[in-house]
Structure 1
């Protein structure tokens, strides 16, 4: 799986980038044919949840996305990973049902 990391309007630390990449790699336990994953982090004007994480996961014949906001980038990434993992499970079930 190819992974790209984008930090919009701020400079992401090496630790934050590594945390994001490690978290995304865990998605492969739900579906092993993930082609590519884009991680996009950016601040938002919302005072309650000022950090936003967006995941764009490309699998054969489909693109799964999740956009979550939280008080920290780590929490936002964690929430987005949970959303995408549910989408991957559903996608995998559909693929197995059609085969």
Structure 2
């Protein structure tokens, strides 16, 4: 999987880049067909130093996006990777099993019958 990095308004250190890249590459462990991932790092507020990590993952017919903020880039990346992982799980589960009907719709059909 190819991982692209963008850092806005600061220079990204190689150690931080390698640590985040290792975390993002764990998404590929479930044999999901991930084409590539874009990681965008930036400061949301210069006063409080809130660091934001945005991860965009491209799979076959969909783009999954997760954006997380915290005091540290690694914490933000961890949270964003967890969100992308859950989105991947939901997407492939729905693709495999089909979308479930809502309970309200099923109850209306029973009442009409």
Q: TM-score by structure 1 length? A: 0.91
Q: Which residue of 1 aligns with 2:83?
A: 83
Counterparts of residues 19-58 of structure 1 (less than 5 Å): 19-45=19-45, 47=48, 50-58=50-58
Matched, 1:71 2:68: no
Q: Distance in 2 between matches of 1:19 and 1:7?
A: 15
Are the aligned partners of 1:30 and 1:89 in contact in 2 as well (CA < 8 Å)?
no
Higher relative contact order (CA 8 A, sep 6+): 1
Provide the aligned C-alpha RMSD in A: 1.4
Quote the residue 1:17 is aligned against: 17
Under a length normalisation based on structure 2, what TM-score does the superposition of the two structures give?
0.80
Q: Which runs of 5+ in 1 are unaligned?
A: none
Moved over 4 A (4+): none
Structure 2 stretches lacking a partner, 5+ long: 99-113
Q: Secondary structure at the match of 2:76?
A: helix
- Count of aligned residue pairs for this structure pair: 97
Looking at structure 2, the residues matched to 30 and 5 of structure 1 have their Cα atoms a distance apart, in angstroms, of: 22
